[in-house]
Amino acid sequence: MRWLFVVLAAYILLISIVSLLSTRCTPEIWGYFLVEDGGNYPITHWENVIGRSRSADINIPLKTMSGNHAILSRKSEDKWVIKDLGSRNGTVVNGFPLEPGRRYLVSPGDEIVMGGVHSTVAPASLEESRNNEVMRRMDKVPVAPWKILLAITLFQLLTIVQLVIGLGENITVGAVLCIILLSVVMWTYVTVFKAMGRKGFEMEMIAFFMSTINLAVTASFDPGAVVKEFVALMLGLGLMIFMCYYLQDLDRTRKLKPTLIILSAILLILNLVLGKATFGATNWIEIGSYTFQPSEIVKLAFICIGASTLEDLYDKNNTIVYAGFSLFCLACLALMSDFGTALIFFATYLVVSFLRSGDFSRLIFTGAGAGAMGLMILKFKPYIASRFDAWGNVWDPQYIDSIGYQQTRTMAFGAGGGLLGLGAGNGSLKYVGASNTDLVFGFVMEEWGFIIAVLLVLCLITLTIFAVMSIVAGRSTFYTICACGAATMFLMQTILNVFGAVDLFPLTGVTFPFVSTGGTSLLTSWAMLAYFKAADMRRDASLAVRKEV
């Protein structure tokens, strides 16, 4: 049975991964920018910088043009928006001078004068439109989901059998029922959206599989907690679907930023006031028998607030607001002593800032400042300094049964699982504190085997690669920054969780996306998939892209 688990996992994940990375969207020509001297510039992006600079998407090398003169953005079919970037000689549309910083609607044939250069926007020719259509048809179609669904369903049924064997009378009806319901929800989700003409389900297949492992880990650790975990999963799936449809409208999404900043600030302040300390970090709020982690919810807002359209990237106020909000979040996390999450936020800030500015020197300066702050934290937070003292030395007699207890047991029990694992419910690491959350990589190694544990890591690496690939054909820098921001958070969480568990990094106490037990973490992981879906430009593949686009 354990060999069958490995074969099914490899089939499910490798087929999904290969399909996701091989069915990329072909860039298209959306129109042409025609200049009076005969220049004919194809428009291949939804957002385009026009100017003298070599880095401009539409490069017009005339001295009367500013380096970055204006931005031309696609609004809808044959509708465009132009915005002057405070150019030296200004921009005039149909004889009307444009105010710098304001957006104006232009249609094909409208006269646009920039730096004395007369130009206009023209739609793609009939031949070009036909060529685009042919290229779309030549694109490789995403793999059909049905065989993968059958494989996941078989994996889930065998998981139930393995849990019953491993846990015996300790297994609960609720735990078994939740895994069955996950299979039903999975089939319903794919069937409904397939009937609506959607084709790309690789991301969801990866998430459903990882969530199956999550429920199995939770059942092995605490069968009674599986129902709460399943409810969080359903809430996360529902939030992902809602976010996908909300993200379809870029203007509507941009207007949400002030609200997200206010709500995030309220959540973090409430956490500081009402938070409950767990393993040294005050990052939980307890309401009755339920607890949730506000910083996990703020992750969703942090990405959306950091993302910007191309025209917003030239707005200094926009940059200042994001930098100030990031500093506020990091300060709150530091006061909570949640330095693992703070590190994830900081890494995401660095990546998003680089995507917004392209200024690598700024990243070096910011990173140096963060390093100095980190040294100060080590001085004033002794328990964090002790983690660094034990780093790489957890097998030392002075640490092995104290601060290195969790990591030494994780490595010992994880290695005991071998390639195939001992079977769900048969492990011993579950008797060690936080084994189903911070140490879940070792938990999976022991009960499911090293092969499946590595495949889970490969899934999140795949999503990161997909986010980077999406930059080429993205509808807007907003969506590509969202995807890259989400990828950074997933990747940093995975690195800190896996490397911390095996003593390659100090143990920071962060979760493994989709796999670690924790309702708020699982909900956020599912919701964050919406950012990847929003960057998916494959035809009819994404819920976050209108079908007519």
pLDDT band at 547 (very low <50, low <70, confident <90, very high): low
Q: What percent of the chain has pLDDT over 90?
A: 38
Q: What are the φ and ψ backbone dihedral angles of 400, each rounded to 5 degrees?
A: -60, -35
Beta strand 70-76 pairing with 79-84: antiparallel
- Gap between the Cα atoms of 309 and 246, Å rounded: 16
pLDDT digits over 63-92, tens only? 888 888 888 888 766 688 899 888 888 899
Q: Give the pLDDT confidence score for residue 211 in this predicted structure.
A: 96
Stretch 286-290: mean pLDDT: 73
- Gap between the Cα atoms of 279 and 341, Å rounded: 14
Residue 68 and residue 179 in one domain? no
Residue 303 and residue 369 in one domain? yes
Domain's final residue, options 134, 168, 187: 134
Q: Give the pLDDT confidence score for residue 136 in this predicted structure.
A: 60
Q: Give the pLDDT confidence score for residue 483 in this predicted structure.
A: 92
Question: Using an 8 Å Cβ cutoff, are 543 and 244 in contact?
Answer: yes
Is there a domain that residue 121 lies in?
A: yes
Q: Give the pLDDT confidence score for residue 135 in this predicted structure.
A: 59
Decide if pLDDT at 9 tops 60.
yes
Q: Tokens 């909000």: give the residue.
A: 325
Is there a domain that residue 399 lies in?
A: no
Question: Using an 8 Å Cβ cutoff, are 47 and 310 in contact?
Answer: yes
The mean predicted confidence, pLDDT, of the chain is 85
Residue 322 and residue 219 in one domain? yes
- pLDDT, greater one: 24 or 423: 423
pLDDT digits over 298-330, tens only? 999 999 998 887 777 777 777 888 888 888 888
Lowest mean pLDDT among 18-27, 158-167, 206-215, 336-345: 18-27
Question: Using an 8 Å Cβ cutoff, are 437 and 217 in contact?
Answer: no
Q: Give the pLDDT confidence score for residue 537 in this predicted structure.
A: 81
Decide if pLDDT at 448 tops 70.
yes
- Gap between the Cα atoms of 9 and 451, Å rounded: 9
* CB-based burial label for 227 (10 Å; 0-12, 13-18, 19+): middle
Indicate yes or no: pTM above 0.85: yes
Q: Give the pLDDT confidence score for residue 536 in this predicted structure.
A: 87
Please give the distance of CA 2 from its chain centroid, rounded to a whole number: 31
Q: Hey, what amino acid is at 125?
A: S
Residue 162 and residue 128 in one domain? no
pLDDT digits over 369-381, tens only? 555 555 445 444 5
Q: Give the pLDDT confidence score for residue 366 in this predicted structure.
A: 56
Is there a domain that residue 15 lies in?
A: yes
Residue 256 and residue 286 in one domain? yes
Residue 129 and residue 155 in one domain? no
Residue 214 and residue 295 in one domain? yes
Q: Tokens 């509708």: give the residue.
A: 79
Is there a domain that residue 256 lies in?
A: yes
pLDDT band at 38 (very low <50, low <70, confident <90, very high): low
Is there a domain that residue 146 lies in?
A: yes
Domain's final residue, options 134, 154, 178: 134
Residue 92 and residue 194 in one domain? no
pLDDT band at 456 (very low <50, low <70, confident <90, very high): very high
Q: Give the pLDDT confidence score for residue 549 in this predicted structure.
A: 44
Residue 441 and residue 465 in one domain? yes
Stretch 43-50: mean pLDDT: 84
Residue 185 and residue 58 in one domain? no
Q: Write out the DSSP string of 179-241.
A: HHHHHHHHHHHHHHHHHTT----HHHHHHHHHHHHHHHHHHHH-GGGHHHHHHHHHHHHHHHH
Is there a domain that residue 540 lies in?
A: no
Decide if pLDDT at 126 tops 70.
no
Q: Give the pLDDT confidence score for residue 541 in this predicted structure.
A: 79
- pLDDT, greater one: 74 or 180: 180
Residue 93 and residue 153 in one domain? no
Is there a domain that residue 84 lies in?
A: yes
Stretch 411-430: mean pLDDT: 91
CATH number at residue 62: 2.60.200.20
* Contacts of residue 150, Cβ cutoff 8 Å, sequence gap at least 6: none
Domain's final residue, options 81, 109, 134: 134
Residue 7 and residue 113 in one domain? no
Lowest mean pLDDT among 17-26, 222-231, 344-353, 522-531: 17-26
> Which residue range is the domain that position 295 belongs to?
2-21+140-391+404-534
Is there a domain that residue 549 lies in?
A: no
Number of domains present in the structure of the chain: 2
